[in-house]
Structure 1
Amino acid sequence: MNNELQNTYIASAKRVIDIEASAIENLASRLNENFEKACDILFSCTGKVVVSGMGKSGHIGNKIAATLASTGTPSFFMHPGEANHGDLGMLSKGDVLLAISNSGETSEIVNLLPVVKRLGIRVVAMTNSAQSSLGQYADIVLDISVEQEACSLGLAPTSSTTATLVMGDALAVALLDKKGFTSDDFALSHPGGSLGRKLLLKVGDIMLSGSDIPLTKSDATVAEALLEISKKGLGMTGIIDSAGILLGVFTDGDLRRILDARVDLHSAQVIDVMTQGGKTTTQEELAVEALNLMESHKISALMVVDSDRKPIGAFNMHMLLKAGVL
């Protein structure tokens, strides 16, 4: 690629980043009691926060609604054009309308306001003009004005949409902190995501149980233990006494050690060469905690025991990977 052309690309990109970074910095300096009042309105909302915006503001509004919903503030996006033709029924008493319009004069938004106010629904506006139609109708105005758009023509929404997005994130996180929203709460609203799997999945959800658990009696030979390891495919077997209590484990690593020591696999008893005790977990333990235990002790499989130390399950790293915990 021509170096001069490449430098032009980079220069344009740096200019955009500098302008948008400046817009965010200026946004922070304008946070005042209006932001606190907006948070109070949203926090005390007994219904849902309904976010609405047209065009690029609508795209940003969709993301803000999703962020609010996933951080403990029930919310959804309402397209203002559709709302003017029937979807305004989405709104109900107790809701709050978070209306986004950079100019404050977007007709699809402004046309909704008289009806919204008649319904007694409070309005939080995100606009660059408190004196605009939207600003005048709103209960509180959040200033999202920017000195300039990053677009070299000064036309395409760039800095303004970035400022709007950041203001939306600021609202969502401020409300999250106020509500004491935790990582467990977050996981409950993201059960299909990787964080949800890590914070919700328990050992009992993924372990092998019943006849699939690799178990060997303490009076068995090493060769018999190896057959059980091969049959169950976890790379280890639990060693139990006559009462079914776990005494230890015999693993692939133990096998390598006794091979180096030239132990006779057919005559040696597994209880004499096993790892005494062995690390264990319970079925109620979070899978991610079990993973941390395995990583800290550099082991690839775990036995799951009950309160009497009797094996009730087993699993390995491959099963954690398959479950999406890794």
Structure 2
Amino acid sequence: MRRAVALARRGPARGVNPQVGCVLLRPDGSTAAEGWHRGAGTPHAEVDALSHLAPGDARGLTAVVSLEPCDHVGRTGPCSVALIEAGVARVVHAVGDPGASSGGGAERLRRAGVDVIGGVLADEAEEMARRWLATARTGRPFVTVKWASSLDGRAAAADGSSRWITGPAARRHVHEQRAAHDAILVGTGTVLADDPGLTARHDTGELMAEQPLPVVVGTRAVPADAALRRHPRGLVETGTRDLEAVLDDLGRRGVRSLFVEGGPTVASAFVRRGLVDDYLVYLAPTLLGGPRTALDDLGVDHIHEQRRLRVTDARTLGDDLVVVARDTSRRHA
């Protein structure tokens, strides 16, 4: 199963489909074939693995899959049916598929007489597929809120200037994170104040191959001459401050991961509403003082109401520190 999870990581992290890996084992435990999903419209991991075998050679084998085989017809056929028709005798999967349309493969396999075992290394597979599973369970994108601040928690100097608190390595990492998400969100206040482009760029200024869909939350219109109007992915203007409605709409649009890069007002709104899955915080070894804090009021009136997080990663980027934390109270966290 660890090999299946490792194979799954080879697939694209972005997009509507999950990363899935599959290992086909012979009765003696040796590997007959391997496969993984390479993106929407391509064979799923199980079918990819089966494609490396001659007709009939899969009969009696065990399929070890990081996610329960799907049971629906999309751009490809059901993996459950493919395994049954190939004569696979046993299917071992790590995580059940929570999708309303794609789930149910395990039950179909059992009805066909296939031995099915679930939950093997579920924690490791859940972590690998965490973003996709969150969306499959809620219908909303996985939300990462990012900010950069001084060690004393300030996002800008007293006059509002903030370029640059962090150094080149941290800023480069931000662009990599933009490229790793399906969409990027800011508020209209940020658009009007900073006129951001919200593209993912290399150090040379050249656009990266993957670009996030820009989303603006708020009721004010984006100016006709704004840089966002020239974004290669187009622009989504929500026309509302209702974050739950925004997330529902983005989920319907196929957005699976959202990078929130707005200022303190937008970031705090996501935090207050309990909509954040991951926090990505860049800390610069500098002190600014003053009122420009990275977050506004979160509704924490008593110390017992503080929002406890779990740090999952912390490392240096040049002179800066990047910290990744998650809210473990989230159902899918």
**TM-score bin, normalised by smaller chain:** under 0.3
- TM-score normalised by structure 2 residue count: 0.22
Q: TM-score, normalised by structure 1?
A: 0.22
Asked which structure has the greater CA Rg, the reply is 1
**Relative contact order: is structure 1 or structure 2 higher (C-alpha 8 Å, sep ≥ 6)?**
2
Say which structure is richer in strand: 2
